[in-house]
Chain A
Amino acid sequence: MSASPTDSEVEAKVIEAIADQLGVAKADVSRASEFDAICDSLDKAELMMEFEDLFEISITDEAASKLKTVADAIEFIQRTLSGGQ
Protein backbone atom coordinates (compact mmCIF):
# COMPACT_ATOMS: atom_id res chain seq x y z
CA MET A 1 0.00 0.00 0.00
CA SER A 2 1.41 3.31 -1.03
CA ALA A 3 1.61 6.18 1.39
CA SER A 4 -0.91 8.99 1.05
CA PRO A 5 0.48 12.15 -0.51
CA THR A 6 1.25 14.92 1.91
CA ASP A 7 -0.95 17.97 2.20
CA SER A 8 1.57 20.07 0.29
CA GLU A 9 1.73 17.49 -2.51
CA VAL A 10 -2.07 17.56 -2.81
CA GLU A 11 -2.01 21.36 -2.77
CA ALA A 12 0.58 21.51 -5.54
CA LYS A 13 -1.37 19.10 -7.75
CA VAL A 14 -4.71 20.82 -7.12
CA ILE A 15 -3.36 24.27 -7.87
CA GLU A 16 -1.61 23.04 -10.99
CA ALA A 17 -4.83 21.40 -12.23
CA ILE A 18 -6.84 24.56 -11.59
CA ALA A 19 -4.27 26.81 -13.28
CA ASP A 20 -4.16 24.47 -16.27
CA GLN A 21 -7.93 24.22 -16.57
CA LEU A 22 -8.48 27.97 -16.27
CA GLY A 23 -5.45 28.99 -18.31
CA VAL A 24 -4.00 31.15 -15.55
CA ALA A 25 -0.66 31.26 -13.76
CA LYS A 26 -0.25 29.04 -10.71
CA ALA A 27 0.66 32.18 -8.75
CA ASP A 28 -2.87 33.44 -9.38
CA VAL A 29 -4.41 30.50 -7.55
CA SER A 30 -4.09 30.11 -3.77
CA ARG A 31 -5.70 28.11 -0.98
CA ALA A 32 -7.91 31.11 -0.26
CA SER A 33 -9.22 31.35 -3.85
CA GLU A 34 -12.98 30.85 -4.06
CA PHE A 35 -14.24 28.72 -6.94
CA ASP A 36 -17.14 31.11 -7.55
CA ALA A 37 -14.67 33.94 -8.00
CA ILE A 38 -12.19 32.23 -10.30
CA CYS A 39 -14.42 30.07 -12.49
CA ASP A 40 -17.97 29.35 -13.60
CA SER A 41 -20.08 26.32 -12.75
CA LEU A 42 -18.98 24.43 -15.88
CA ASP A 43 -15.31 24.93 -15.05
CA LYS A 44 -15.95 23.77 -11.51
CA ALA A 45 -17.76 20.62 -12.70
CA GLU A 46 -14.86 19.81 -15.02
CA LEU A 47 -12.36 20.49 -12.22
CA MET A 48 -14.11 17.99 -9.94
CA MET A 49 -13.73 15.36 -12.67
CA GLU A 50 -10.09 16.30 -13.00
CA PHE A 51 -9.57 15.86 -9.24
CA GLU A 52 -11.34 12.49 -9.38
CA ASP A 53 -8.99 11.33 -12.12
CA LEU A 54 -5.91 12.84 -10.56
CA PHE A 55 -6.37 11.34 -7.11
CA GLU A 56 -8.46 8.30 -8.05
CA ILE A 57 -11.25 9.30 -5.71
CA SER A 58 -14.96 9.95 -6.04
CA ILE A 59 -16.47 13.36 -5.37
CA THR A 60 -20.26 13.26 -5.14
CA ASP A 61 -22.26 16.25 -6.33
CA GLU A 62 -23.23 16.90 -2.73
CA ALA A 63 -19.61 16.89 -1.60
CA ALA A 64 -18.61 19.13 -4.50
CA SER A 65 -21.28 21.66 -3.62
CA LYS A 66 -19.64 22.13 -0.22
CA LEU A 67 -16.21 22.90 -1.65
CA LYS A 68 -16.19 26.70 -1.74
CA THR A 69 -12.47 27.40 -1.69
CA VAL A 70 -9.35 25.73 -3.00
CA ALA A 71 -8.44 24.94 0.61
CA ASP A 72 -11.78 23.11 0.99
CA ALA A 73 -10.92 20.96 -2.01
CA ILE A 74 -7.41 20.22 -0.78
CA GLU A 75 -8.68 19.26 2.66
CA PHE A 76 -11.46 17.11 1.20
CA ILE A 77 -9.04 15.26 -1.05
CA GLN A 78 -6.53 14.78 1.76
CA ARG A 79 -9.23 13.48 4.09
CA THR A 80 -10.56 11.09 1.45
CA LEU A 81 -7.10 9.76 0.64
CA SER A 82 -6.33 9.11 4.29
CA GLY A 83 -9.55 7.16 4.61
CA GLY A 84 -11.26 9.77 6.71
CA GLN A 85 -14.52 9.58 4.78
Chain B
Amino acid sequence: MRTVTHRRVVVTGMGGVSNLGPTAVTTWSAMKSGRSGISPLRSFPQSEDWTVRFAGEIHDFNPSGVVDGREQKRIDRVALFAMVAADEAVRDSGYDFRNAADPYRNGTIIGSGIGGVLTMEEGHTKLLQTGPRRVSPFVVPRLMVNAAPGNVSIQFNLRGPSTAMASACASSGHAVGTAMQLIQRGDCDVMLAGGAEAAITPLTLSAFASMKALSTRNDDPQRASRPFDRDRDGFVLSEGSAILVLEELEHAKRRGARIYAEVVGYGATGDAHHIAAPDEHGSGAFKAMEVALRDAETNASEVGYINAHGTSTPQGDRAEVTAVKRLFGDHVYRLAMSSTKSMTGHALGAAGGLESIAAIMAIYEGVLAPTINLDNPDEGFDLNFVPHVAQEAKVDVTLNNTFGFGGHNVSLVFRRFA
Protein backbone atom coordinates (compact mmCIF):
# COMPACT_ATOMS: atom_id res chain seq x y z
CA MET B 1 0.00 0.00 0.00
CA ARG B 2 1.01 3.53 -0.60
CA THR B 3 2.24 5.41 2.43
CA VAL B 4 1.67 8.92 1.09
CA THR B 5 -1.39 10.47 -0.46
CA HIS B 6 -0.98 12.22 -3.74
CA ARG B 7 -2.80 14.29 -6.29
CA ARG B 8 -4.76 12.68 -9.12
CA VAL B 9 -3.60 12.94 -12.74
CA VAL B 10 -5.82 12.85 -15.82
CA VAL B 11 -5.25 12.83 -19.57
CA THR B 12 -6.78 15.92 -21.16
CA GLY B 13 -5.14 15.99 -24.58
CA MET B 14 -3.49 13.72 -27.12
CA GLY B 15 -1.43 14.30 -30.23
CA GLY B 16 0.39 12.02 -32.60
CA VAL B 17 2.14 11.49 -35.90
CA SER B 18 2.42 7.99 -37.30
CA ASN B 19 2.51 5.99 -40.50
CA LEU B 20 -1.24 5.50 -40.01
CA GLY B 21 -2.02 9.21 -40.05
CA PRO B 22 -0.69 12.73 -39.49
CA THR B 23 -2.62 13.15 -36.22
CA ALA B 24 -3.60 11.15 -33.15
CA VAL B 25 -7.20 11.24 -34.35
CA THR B 26 -6.42 9.73 -37.76
CA THR B 27 -3.96 7.26 -36.23
CA TRP B 28 -6.58 5.97 -33.78
CA SER B 29 -9.17 5.80 -36.53
CA ALA B 30 -6.82 3.70 -38.70
CA MET B 31 -6.00 1.45 -35.75
CA LYS B 32 -9.70 0.75 -35.27
CA SER B 33 -10.05 -0.17 -38.94
CA GLY B 34 -7.09 -2.56 -38.78
CA ARG B 35 -4.98 -0.84 -41.43
CA SER B 36 -1.25 -1.46 -41.88
CA GLY B 37 1.15 1.48 -42.12
CA ILE B 38 4.05 -0.58 -43.42
CA SER B 39 5.43 -0.13 -46.94
CA PRO B 40 8.53 -0.69 -49.11
CA LEU B 41 11.35 1.62 -48.06
CA ARG B 42 11.52 5.00 -49.79
CA SER B 43 13.85 7.22 -47.79
CA PHE B 44 17.17 5.89 -49.07
CA PRO B 45 18.29 3.63 -51.93
CA GLN B 46 18.94 -0.02 -51.19
CA SER B 47 20.77 -2.73 -53.10
CA GLU B 48 20.06 -6.44 -52.90
CA ASP B 49 22.59 -6.51 -50.06
CA TRP B 50 19.90 -5.19 -47.76
CA THR B 51 18.10 -8.02 -46.03
CA VAL B 52 15.29 -5.68 -44.94
CA ARG B 53 13.73 -3.43 -47.61
CA PHE B 54 10.57 -2.14 -45.93
CA ALA B 55 9.63 -0.15 -42.86
CA GLY B 56 6.91 1.89 -41.21
CA GLU B 57 7.95 5.21 -42.71
CA ILE B 58 5.83 8.31 -42.49
CA HIS B 59 5.47 9.58 -46.04
CA ASP B 60 4.95 13.23 -46.96
CA PHE B 61 5.50 14.53 -43.41
CA ASN B 62 5.01 18.28 -43.41
CA PRO B 63 5.61 20.25 -40.21
CA SER B 64 4.83 23.61 -41.85
CA GLY B 65 2.07 25.30 -39.94
CA VAL B 66 3.66 24.23 -36.67
CA VAL B 67 7.33 24.99 -37.33
CA ASP B 68 8.42 27.66 -39.82
CA GLY B 69 10.86 26.97 -42.63
CA ARG B 70 13.88 28.51 -40.96
CA GLU B 71 13.37 26.56 -37.76
CA GLN B 72 12.79 23.33 -39.67
CA LYS B 73 16.37 23.45 -40.95
CA ARG B 74 17.65 23.62 -37.40
CA ILE B 75 15.62 20.68 -36.06
CA ASP B 76 15.92 16.95 -36.76
CA ARG B 77 12.95 14.94 -38.01
CA VAL B 78 12.56 13.32 -34.57
CA ALA B 79 11.99 16.63 -32.78
CA LEU B 80 9.77 17.90 -35.62
CA PHE B 81 7.57 14.83 -35.08
CA ALA B 82 7.39 15.68 -31.37
CA MET B 83 6.56 19.34 -32.04
CA VAL B 84 3.74 18.44 -34.42
CA ALA B 85 2.35 15.87 -31.97
CA ALA B 86 2.66 18.35 -29.09
CA ASP B 87 0.82 20.98 -31.11
CA GLU B 88 -2.13 18.65 -31.65
CA ALA B 89 -2.12 17.53 -28.01
CA VAL B 90 -2.12 21.12 -26.76
CA ARG B 91 -4.92 22.18 -29.12
CA ASP B 92 -6.87 19.09 -28.10
CA SER B 93 -6.50 19.96 -24.42
CA GLY B 94 -7.73 23.53 -24.89
CA TYR B 95 -5.19 24.71 -22.31
CA ASP B 96 -3.30 27.89 -23.14
CA PHE B 97 0.22 26.86 -22.13
CA ARG B 98 1.86 29.89 -23.71
CA ASN B 99 -0.02 32.27 -21.43
CA ALA B 100 -0.01 30.13 -18.29
CA ALA B 101 -0.18 32.12 -15.04
CA ASP B 102 2.88 30.26 -13.75
CA PRO B 103 4.82 28.55 -16.56
CA TYR B 104 7.15 26.96 -14.00
CA ARG B 105 4.25 24.63 -13.13
CA ASN B 106 4.26 23.19 -16.65
CA GLY B 107 6.89 20.85 -18.07
CA THR B 108 7.70 18.14 -20.55
CA ILE B 109 9.30 14.72 -20.68
CA ILE B 110 9.74 13.20 -24.12
CA GLY B 111 11.44 9.89 -24.67
CA SER B 112 13.47 8.76 -27.63
CA GLY B 113 15.42 5.58 -28.04
CA ILE B 114 18.01 7.00 -30.40
CA GLY B 115 17.49 10.74 -30.91
CA GLY B 116 18.63 12.59 -34.01
CA VAL B 117 20.47 9.74 -35.69
CA LEU B 118 19.59 11.03 -39.17
CA THR B 119 21.54 14.20 -38.37
CA MET B 120 24.36 12.16 -36.87
CA GLU B 121 24.74 10.11 -40.04
CA GLU B 122 24.48 13.06 -42.39
CA GLY B 123 26.92 15.06 -40.25
CA HIS B 124 29.40 12.23 -40.20
CA THR B 125 29.18 11.78 -43.96
CA LYS B 126 29.81 15.50 -44.41
CA LEU B 127 32.80 15.32 -42.07
CA LEU B 128 34.36 12.52 -44.10
CA GLN B 129 33.62 14.21 -47.42
CA THR B 130 34.54 17.82 -46.69
CA GLY B 131 36.56 17.89 -43.49
CA PRO B 132 35.99 19.24 -40.00
CA ARG B 133 35.49 22.89 -40.89
CA ARG B 134 32.35 22.11 -42.87
CA VAL B 135 30.43 20.33 -40.10
CA SER B 136 27.26 22.30 -39.48
CA PRO B 137 26.92 24.13 -36.16
CA PHE B 138 23.38 22.76 -36.04
CA VAL B 139 24.52 19.14 -35.76
CA VAL B 140 24.57 19.09 -31.96
CA PRO B 141 21.26 20.87 -31.32
CA ARG B 142 19.66 18.59 -33.92
CA LEU B 143 21.05 15.24 -32.83
CA MET B 144 20.90 15.45 -29.04
CA VAL B 145 18.35 13.06 -27.60
CA ASN B 146 16.82 15.90 -25.56
CA ALA B 147 16.21 18.06 -28.64
CA ALA B 148 12.52 17.10 -28.62
CA PRO B 149 11.71 18.29 -25.08
CA GLY B 150 14.03 21.27 -25.57
CA ASN B 151 12.16 22.44 -28.64
CA VAL B 152 8.72 21.63 -27.21
CA SER B 153 9.51 23.62 -24.07
CA ILE B 154 10.31 26.64 -26.26
CA GLN B 155 7.19 26.01 -28.38
CA PHE B 156 4.85 26.16 -25.38
CA ASN B 157 6.77 28.21 -22.81
CA LEU B 158 7.17 25.22 -20.47
CA ARG B 159 9.51 26.39 -17.71
CA GLY B 160 9.12 23.53 -15.25
CA PRO B 161 10.95 20.20 -15.55
CA SER B 162 12.05 19.54 -19.12
CA THR B 163 13.97 16.41 -19.93
CA ALA B 164 14.33 13.39 -22.17
CA MET B 165 14.03 9.72 -21.36
CA ALA B 166 16.26 7.25 -23.15
CA SER B 167 15.42 3.65 -22.38
CA ALA B 168 15.14 2.33 -25.93
CA CYS B 169 11.64 1.06 -26.63
CA ALA B 170 10.48 1.78 -23.07
CA SER B 171 11.31 5.51 -23.34
CA SER B 172 7.72 6.71 -23.73
CA GLY B 173 6.57 4.58 -20.83
CA HIS B 174 9.18 6.04 -18.51
CA ALA B 175 8.33 9.53 -19.77
CA VAL B 176 4.61 9.22 -19.07
CA GLY B 177 5.16 7.46 -15.74
CA THR B 178 7.66 10.01 -14.48
CA ALA B 179 5.53 12.94 -15.64
CA MET B 180 2.57 11.41 -13.77
CA GLN B 181 4.67 11.23 -10.60
CA LEU B 182 5.83 14.85 -10.89
CA ILE B 183 2.21 15.97 -10.97
CA GLN B 184 1.19 13.55 -8.20
CA ARG B 185 3.95 14.93 -5.96
CA GLY B 186 2.89 18.49 -6.58
CA ASP B 187 5.99 19.57 -8.47
CA CYS B 188 3.98 20.40 -11.62
CA ASP B 189 0.39 20.86 -12.71
CA VAL B 190 0.50 20.04 -16.42
CA MET B 191 3.02 17.96 -18.37
CA LEU B 192 3.46 17.15 -22.04
CA ALA B 193 4.70 13.58 -21.97
CA GLY B 194 5.37 10.93 -24.58
CA GLY B 195 7.98 9.95 -27.09
CA ALA B 196 9.38 10.48 -30.55
CA GLU B 197 11.54 8.48 -32.92
CA ALA B 198 12.87 9.01 -36.45
CA ALA B 199 15.48 6.30 -36.84
CA ILE B 200 14.74 4.70 -40.18
CA THR B 201 18.24 5.41 -41.43
CA PRO B 202 20.84 3.31 -43.26
CA LEU B 203 22.90 2.74 -40.10
CA THR B 204 19.99 1.94 -37.80
CA LEU B 205 18.15 -0.32 -40.22
CA SER B 206 21.28 -2.28 -41.07
CA ALA B 207 22.27 -2.54 -37.41
CA PHE B 208 18.88 -3.87 -36.30
CA ALA B 209 19.00 -6.26 -39.26
CA SER B 210 22.43 -7.49 -38.15
CA MET B 211 20.92 -8.31 -34.75
CA LYS B 212 18.34 -10.45 -36.60
CA ALA B 213 15.73 -8.40 -34.77
CA LEU B 214 13.80 -7.37 -37.88
CA SER B 215 11.29 -9.23 -40.02
CA THR B 216 12.67 -10.04 -43.47
CA ARG B 217 9.27 -10.56 -45.10
CA ASN B 218 10.24 -8.31 -48.03
CA ASP B 219 7.70 -9.86 -50.39
CA ASP B 220 4.76 -8.91 -48.17
CA PRO B 221 5.58 -5.91 -45.94
CA GLN B 222 2.05 -5.31 -44.69
CA ARG B 223 1.93 -8.85 -43.31
CA ALA B 224 5.40 -8.68 -41.73
CA SER B 225 4.42 -7.34 -38.31
CA ARG B 226 2.40 -10.24 -36.87
CA PRO B 227 2.64 -10.29 -33.10
CA PHE B 228 1.69 -13.57 -31.40
CA ASP B 229 1.43 -15.37 -34.75
CA ARG B 230 3.44 -18.58 -35.12
CA ASP B 231 5.06 -17.24 -38.31
CA ARG B 232 6.33 -13.98 -36.81
CA ASP B 233 9.98 -13.36 -37.64
CA GLY B 234 10.92 -10.06 -36.04
CA PHE B 235 9.74 -6.49 -35.71
CA VAL B 236 9.23 -3.83 -38.36
CA LEU B 237 11.16 -0.60 -37.78
CA SER B 238 8.89 2.45 -37.80
CA GLU B 239 8.81 6.05 -36.62
CA GLY B 240 6.56 8.76 -35.26
CA SER B 241 5.60 10.54 -32.09
CA ALA B 242 2.82 10.72 -29.56
CA ILE B 243 2.38 13.26 -26.80
CA LEU B 244 -0.17 13.23 -23.97
CA VAL B 245 -1.30 16.20 -21.91
CA LEU B 246 -1.22 15.00 -18.30
CA GLU B 247 -2.96 17.34 -15.91
CA GLU B 248 -3.67 17.54 -12.20
CA LEU B 249 -7.35 16.71 -11.69
CA GLU B 250 -8.47 19.90 -9.93
CA HIS B 251 -6.58 22.01 -12.47
CA ALA B 252 -8.43 20.19 -15.26
CA LYS B 253 -11.80 20.52 -13.54
CA ARG B 254 -11.38 24.24 -12.90
CA ARG B 255 -11.06 24.94 -16.59
CA GLY B 256 -13.74 22.44 -17.59
CA ALA B 257 -11.36 20.24 -19.53
CA ARG B 258 -12.46 17.07 -21.29
CA ILE B 259 -10.98 14.10 -19.44
CA TYR B 260 -10.14 11.01 -21.49
CA ALA B 261 -9.01 8.85 -18.58
CA GLU B 262 -7.05 8.92 -15.35
CA VAL B 263 -3.41 7.80 -15.22
CA VAL B 264 -3.20 5.78 -12.07
CA GLY B 265 -0.24 3.44 -12.15
CA TYR B 266 3.38 3.23 -13.18
CA GLY B 267 5.64 0.26 -12.72
CA ALA B 268 9.24 0.11 -13.91
CA THR B 269 11.79 -2.66 -13.56
CA GLY B 270 15.09 -3.82 -15.06
CA ASP B 271 15.80 -7.36 -16.20
CA ALA B 272 19.46 -7.28 -15.11
CA HIS B 273 19.84 -10.14 -17.56
CA HIS B 274 21.05 -9.36 -21.10
CA ILE B 275 21.58 -6.12 -23.01
CA ALA B 276 19.23 -7.04 -25.87
CA ALA B 277 17.51 -10.39 -25.26
CA PRO B 278 14.38 -10.56 -23.12
CA ASP B 279 14.32 -12.72 -20.01
CA GLU B 280 12.48 -15.74 -21.40
CA HIS B 281 10.22 -16.01 -18.36
CA GLY B 282 9.32 -12.33 -18.58
CA SER B 283 10.15 -11.88 -14.90
CA GLY B 284 10.91 -8.18 -15.24
CA ALA B 285 7.79 -7.61 -17.32
CA PHE B 286 5.71 -9.50 -14.75
CA LYS B 287 7.08 -7.37 -11.94
CA ALA B 288 6.57 -4.10 -13.86
CA MET B 289 2.87 -4.93 -14.33
CA GLU B 290 2.53 -6.04 -10.71
CA VAL B 291 4.14 -2.85 -9.42
CA ALA B 292 2.01 -0.71 -11.75
CA LEU B 293 -1.20 -2.33 -10.53
CA ARG B 294 -0.15 -1.89 -6.91
CA ASP B 295 0.71 1.74 -7.63
CA ALA B 296 -2.77 2.09 -9.11
CA GLU B 297 -4.31 0.38 -6.06
CA THR B 298 -6.07 -1.83 -8.58
CA ASN B 299 -6.71 -5.57 -8.60
CA ALA B 300 -5.58 -7.53 -11.61
CA SER B 301 -9.19 -8.70 -12.02
CA GLU B 302 -10.26 -5.13 -12.86
CA VAL B 303 -8.08 -4.97 -15.99
CA GLY B 304 -10.10 -5.23 -19.20
CA TYR B 305 -7.50 -4.56 -21.86
CA ILE B 306 -3.72 -4.63 -22.27
CA ASN B 307 -1.99 -2.88 -25.12
CA ALA B 308 0.93 -5.28 -25.32
CA HIS B 309 4.50 -4.47 -26.14
CA GLY B 310 4.09 -7.33 -28.65
CA THR B 311 6.78 -6.45 -31.19
CA SER B 312 6.43 -9.62 -33.28
CA THR B 313 9.78 -11.09 -32.26
CA PRO B 314 9.74 -14.80 -31.42
CA GLN B 315 11.23 -14.46 -27.92
CA GLY B 316 9.75 -11.13 -26.87
CA ASP B 317 6.13 -12.04 -27.53
CA ARG B 318 6.54 -15.34 -25.71
CA ALA B 319 8.07 -13.68 -22.66
CA GLU B 320 5.23 -11.15 -22.50
CA VAL B 321 2.47 -13.75 -22.87
CA THR B 322 4.16 -15.87 -20.18
CA ALA B 323 4.31 -12.89 -17.82
CA VAL B 324 0.71 -11.84 -18.46
CA LYS B 325 -0.63 -15.37 -17.93
CA ARG B 326 1.29 -15.72 -14.70
CA LEU B 327 0.15 -12.36 -13.35
CA PHE B 328 -3.52 -12.52 -14.28
CA GLY B 329 -4.22 -16.20 -13.64
CA ASP B 330 -7.73 -17.20 -14.72
CA HIS B 331 -8.67 -13.57 -15.34
CA VAL B 332 -6.38 -13.63 -18.37
CA TYR B 333 -9.22 -15.30 -20.31
CA ARG B 334 -11.63 -12.49 -19.46
CA LEU B 335 -9.42 -9.63 -20.59
CA ALA B 336 -8.22 -8.73 -24.08
CA MET B 337 -4.66 -8.03 -25.14
CA SER B 338 -3.73 -6.69 -28.56
CA SER B 339 -0.62 -5.37 -30.21
CA THR B 340 -1.15 -2.28 -32.35
CA LYS B 341 2.43 -2.75 -33.56
CA SER B 342 0.84 -5.21 -35.98
CA MET B 343 -0.32 -2.05 -37.81
CA THR B 344 2.24 0.65 -36.94
CA GLY B 345 5.36 -1.47 -36.71
CA HIS B 346 7.73 -0.64 -33.88
CA ALA B 347 8.34 3.07 -33.37
CA LEU B 348 10.90 2.35 -30.61
CA GLY B 349 10.93 5.30 -28.21
CA ALA B 350 7.61 6.57 -29.57
CA ALA B 351 5.87 3.21 -29.24
CA GLY B 352 4.59 3.64 -25.70
CA GLY B 353 3.10 7.01 -26.54
CA LEU B 354 1.24 5.80 -29.61
CA GLU B 355 0.06 2.71 -27.77
CA SER B 356 -1.04 4.65 -24.71
CA ILE B 357 -3.45 6.42 -27.05
CA ALA B 358 -4.96 3.01 -27.88
CA ALA B 359 -5.10 2.06 -24.19
CA ILE B 360 -6.78 5.37 -23.29
CA MET B 361 -9.25 5.33 -26.19
CA ALA B 362 -10.22 1.76 -25.31
CA ILE B 363 -11.67 3.22 -22.11
CA TYR B 364 -12.99 6.45 -23.65
CA GLU B 365 -14.64 4.96 -26.74
CA GLY B 366 -15.11 1.32 -25.73
CA VAL B 367 -13.22 0.02 -28.75
CA LEU B 368 -10.25 -2.35 -28.59
CA ALA B 369 -7.86 -1.98 -31.51
CA PRO B 370 -6.98 -5.29 -33.17
CA THR B 371 -3.87 -7.37 -33.68
CA ILE B 372 -3.84 -7.72 -37.46
CA ASN B 373 -2.06 -10.56 -39.29
CA LEU B 374 -2.74 -12.94 -36.42
CA ASP B 375 -3.67 -15.91 -38.59
CA ASN B 376 -2.33 -18.70 -36.39
CA PRO B 377 -1.67 -17.90 -32.75
CA ASP B 378 1.53 -19.54 -31.53
CA GLU B 379 1.38 -22.58 -29.29
CA GLY B 380 -0.09 -21.76 -25.90
CA PHE B 381 -1.09 -18.27 -27.01
CA ASP B 382 -4.75 -18.73 -26.11
CA LEU B 383 -5.76 -15.22 -25.03
CA ASN B 384 -8.20 -12.87 -26.76
CA PHE B 385 -5.65 -11.00 -28.86
CA VAL B 386 -8.44 -9.13 -30.72
CA PRO B 387 -7.44 -10.81 -33.99
CA HIS B 388 -7.87 -8.95 -37.29
CA VAL B 389 -10.80 -6.68 -36.37
CA ALA B 390 -11.55 -4.28 -33.53
CA GLN B 391 -13.88 -5.34 -30.74
CA GLU B 392 -16.35 -3.26 -28.78
CA ALA B 393 -16.08 -3.70 -25.03
CA LYS B 394 -16.64 -1.60 -21.95
CA VAL B 395 -13.33 -1.58 -20.15
CA ASP B 396 -12.56 0.50 -17.07
CA VAL B 397 -8.89 -0.29 -16.50
CA THR B 398 -6.25 -0.73 -19.20
CA LEU B 399 -2.51 -1.36 -19.27
CA ASN B 400 0.15 -0.27 -21.70
CA ASN B 401 3.36 -2.30 -21.68
CA THR B 402 6.67 -1.14 -23.11
CA PHE B 403 9.91 -3.06 -22.87
CA GLY B 404 13.28 -1.97 -24.20
CA PHE B 405 16.75 -3.19 -25.07
CA GLY B 406 18.79 -2.81 -21.93
CA GLY B 407 16.18 -4.82 -20.05
CA HIS B 408 13.86 -1.89 -19.31
CA ASN B 409 10.24 -2.78 -18.52
CA VAL B 410 7.46 -0.28 -18.02
CA SER B 411 3.77 -0.79 -17.43
CA LEU B 412 1.28 2.09 -17.22
CA VAL B 413 -2.26 1.81 -15.85
CA PHE B 414 -5.16 3.96 -17.05
CA ARG B 415 -8.59 4.02 -15.44
CA ARG B 416 -11.97 5.37 -16.48
CA PHE B 417 -12.38 8.77 -14.86
CA ALA B 418 -15.19 8.85 -12.33
Contacts and interface: CB of A to CB of B under 8 A. Distances in A.
Interface string B53-92: 0000000000000001111011000000000000000000
A75 B68 CA distance: 31
A49 B133 contact: yes
A42 B138 contact: yes
B134 interface: yes
Contacts of B74: 42
B138 A46 contact: yes
16 contacts: A21-B70, A21-B73, A22-B70, A23-B68, A23-B70, A23-B71, A23-B73, A24-B70, A41-B137, A42-B74, A45-B137, A46-B136, A49-B133, A49-B134, A49-B136, A53-B134
Interface residues of B, number: 12
A64 to B, nearest CB: 11
Nearest to A61: B133
Contacts of A53: 134
A64 B71 CA distance: 23
Interface string B120-139: 00000000000001101110
B160 interface: no
A42 B141 contact: yes
Contacts of B71: 23
A27 to B, nearest CB: 16
Contacts of B133: 49, 52
Interface of B: 68-71, 73-74, 133-134, 136-138, 141
Query: What's the dominant secondary structure at chain A's contact region?
Result: helix
Interface of A: 21-24, 41-42, 45-46, 49, 52-53
B68 A46 contact: no
A9 to B, nearest CB: 24
B137 A46 contact: yes
A23 B64 CA distance: 13
Contact of B69 (A23, A45, A46, A52): A23
A24 B70 CA distance: 8
Nearest to A47: B137
B260 to A, nearest CB: 37
Contacts of B68: 23
Contacts of A22: 70
A71 B68 CA distance: 27
B293 to A, nearest CB: 47
A46 B71 CA distance: 14
The B contact surface, by secondary structure, is: helix
Nearest to B141: A42
A42 B73 CA distance: 12
Contacts of B69: 23
Report, nearest first, the 10 A-B pairs whose CB atoms are least far apart. A23-B70, A45-B137, A23-B69, A42-B137, A22-B70, A46-B137, A46-B136, A49-B134, A42-B138, A23-B68
Contacts of A41: 137
Most buried by B among A21, A41, A46, A52: A46
A41 B138 CA distance: 10
User: Which of B70, B73, B133, B137 has the most C-beta atoms of chain A within 10 angstroms of its own C-beta?
Assistant: B137
B136 to A, nearest CB: 6
Contacts of A46: 136-138
Contacts of B141: 42
Nearest to A41: B137
A84 B70 CA distance: 34
A42 B135 CA distance: 12
A45 B74 CA distance: 13
Nearest to A59: B133
Nearest to A23: B70
B75 to A, nearest CB: 12
A80 B225 CA distance: 59
Contacts of B137: 41-42, 45-46
A3 B310 CA distance: 66
A52 B133 CA distance: 10
A49 B70 CA distance: 17
A62 to B, nearest CB: 14
Given A21-B70, A46-B136, A46-B138, 4 more contacts: A42-B74, A42-B141, A49-B134, A53-B134
A41 B74 CA distance: 13
Contacts of A45: 137
Nearest to B71: A23
Nearest to A45: B137
A49 B136 CA distance: 8
A59 to B, nearest CB: 10
Nearest to A44: B137
A41 B69 CA distance: 18
